[in-house]
Amino acid sequence: MNLKEYRQKRDFEGTSEPEGELGATVGSRFVVHKHQARHLHYDFRLEMGGLLKSWAVPKGVPLEPGVRRLAVQVEDHPIEYIDFAGVIPEGQYGAGTVEIWDRGQFELSRQAPGRLEFTLRGEKLSGDYVLIHTDGKNWLLIKRKAGTG
Ligand code: MN
């Protein structure tokens, strides 16, 4: 995991997004950015391994159990990005408005190849979720029913 792809995509003279460093801390925060770019989407980010593992979720993180949402894995982002909100100027990568839609803590309950299970404790989002890798960069993000293993 590193920030190479993140940095290659951006011109830090032109955007106020953080250039970032690999974090040394072990955290367990998450954030959901509402990103009004060319197409509105929500970026779901988990603090893992000193970085933010990130997925673009076109229809947003599900609030109801059983709903499956496509989540496309995107480049790892630096930890500082967890606090980023602002306008990425026209002509820059991801140009548009970024707002923090939700944030909080998560607890990882299972990590296996192609599968992450965790509990979210945010302001809007709470409960058990699973991310399941399907193919390429595509994952499914599903809210689980309470009490299901
Ligand atoms: Mn985005």
- In terms of DSSP H, where are the helices of 2-100? 4-8
Distance from the alpha carbon of residue 128 to the mean position of ligand 1, in angstroms: 23
Dihedrals phi, psi of 63, to nearest 5 degrees: -95, -20
Q: Structurally, how many domains does the chain consist of?
A: 1
Give pLDDT tens digits along the chain (149 positions).
Answer: 689 999 999 999 999 999 988 766 566 999 999 999 999 999 999 999 889 999 999 999 999 998 999 999 999 999 999 999 999 999 999 999 999 999 999 999 999 999 999 999 999 999 999 999 999 999 999 999 876 55
Distance from the alpha carbon of residue 56 to the mean position of ligand 1, in angstroms: 6
Q: What is the residue range of 101's domain?
A: 4-12+23-143
Residue 69, in any domain of the structure: yes
**How far is residue 101's CA from residue 124's CA, in Å, rounded to a whole number?**
8
Return the structure tokens found at 65: 């159990």
Whole-number CA gyration radius for the chain: 15
- In terms of DSSP H, where are the helices of the chain? 4-8
Residue 33, in any domain of the structure: yes
- Which H helix or E strand runs over 31? strand 29-36
Return the structure tokens found at 30: 């998450």
Distance from the alpha carbon of residue 42 to the mean position of ligand 1, in angstroms: 7
Collapse the DSSP code of 8 into the 3-class scheme (helix H, G, I; strand E, B; otherwise coil) and give the result. helix
Residue 53, in any domain of the structure: yes
Strands 138-143 and 115-122: unpaired
Distance from the alpha carbon of residue 40 to the mean position of ligand 1, in angstroms: 8
Dihedrals phi, psi of 146, to nearest 5 degrees: -60, 135
Distance from the alpha carbon of residue 66 to the mean position of ligand 1, in angstroms: 24
Distance from the alpha carbon of residue 113 to the mean position of ligand 1, in angstroms: 24
Residue 110, in any domain of the structure: yes
Residue 27, in any domain of the structure: yes
Distance from the alpha carbon of residue 36 to the mean position of ligand 1, in angstroms: 8
Residue 149, in any domain of the structure: no
